[in-house]
Amino acid sequence: MKIRLRHRTTYRYSEPVAFGQHKIRTRPRDGHDVHIESSLLEISPDHTIRWMRDVNGNSVARVDFPGKAARLSFFSEVVLNQYDSNPLDFLLDPNAVYYPFVYGPDCERELASFITTIYPKDTARLRAWLAQFWKAGDRVETIVLLQRVNMHINHSFQCLPSLDEEVQTPGETLQKNSGTSRDFAALLLEACRCWGLAARFVSGYVHCDSTEAGGAPPHAWTEIYLPGAGWKGFDPTAGIMTGAQYVAVAVSRLPENAAPISGSYTGPANAFESVEIEVTITRIDLPRAVTPVASSIPGNQNQSRTQQ
């Protein structure tokens, strides 16, 4: 499956402001399941850009701006081929087929940081919530257990539009019984870690098998490390395991380190007016074009924030 992915983000301010360094994570993670044919990144105003791979292997553009401006825009276009059409085509190691299991010494140290919880104040509440799915002494198929939690979040929580705000803690999501795809990914992430499973946060995009754009861009889900299968994606917003319709852009132990765009500005507290995000995903081996999905977010009072 060949697709063209275009992502445009535009920030507007009431007057020229100064920008801190921005980190752009819009280039998908290529590998055996994804091959990038071409990639383009355009940025305004004047800037300098340096590419790097971060500690998680994500492609990150570090952008510095020498002057001030009242408008900041990023445009990314990527053409890629997707090959992972069957998310269930894997075999777990025999010792991992049923939960609970422990990771072997060959990968335990590498996975340690992905098992450590990042919201310790929410651990007790999370464990109480997870008791409905598994209790000490139970023996259940690992995939069945993970899908129970994944589908429960999809069925039981209200999904909200993704806004330019920080990710909720798992405790906040449980209390509100609602959240964005990022909040649900963080909830599943931390739930898995409470069970001793290695999990990481993923940001990216979702599209349909047709030429139409799919999902509310950008999207987020969770990957869990399963011996024999490796990192497998679970999308609690949709309640399914991820496949070829998912394009991963960045992964991280921490949600904020996988944001498509992060940075800050310096200026009056009320200078920020809005951000417009437009994502178009077109299947270019089929003839029909698509209509972009756009969202506009009203101004707020934050002078420095993570932008997504």
Per-residue pLDDT of the chain (308 residues; tens, 9 = 90+): 899 999 999 999 999 999 999 999 999 999 888 999 999 999 999 999 999 999 999 999 999 999 999 999 999 999 999 886 677 788 999 999 999 999 999 899 999 999 999 999 999 999 999 999 999 999 999 999 999 999 999 999 999 887 667 899 999 999 999 999 999 999 999 999 999 999 999 999 998 654 444 445 689 999 999 999 999 999 999 999 998 889 999 999 999 999 999 999 999 989 999 999 999 998 887 655 555 555 444 444 333 343 43
Distances (CA, A) of 306 to 34, 65, 219, 248: 28, 17, 16, 19
**Token pair in block for residue 204:** 């990216």
| Span between the terminal Cα atoms of the chain, in Å | 27
Query: Residue 202: how many CA atoms within 13 Å on its side-chain side?
Result: 24
**Token pair in block for residue 234:** 């679970």
Nearest to 152 by CA among 171, 175, 129: 129
Contact 90, 97 (CB under 8 A): no
Distances (CA, A) of 23 to 33, 155, 306: 25, 34, 10
Report pLDDT for 166.
86
Q: What is the pTM of this model?
A: 0.88
Which residues, 6+ apart, have CB-to-CB distance to 173 below 8 Å?
157, 179, 183, 184, 186, 187
Give me the domains of the chain, ranges plus CATH numbers: 2-83+260-298 (2.60.40.2250), 94-257 (3.10.620.30)
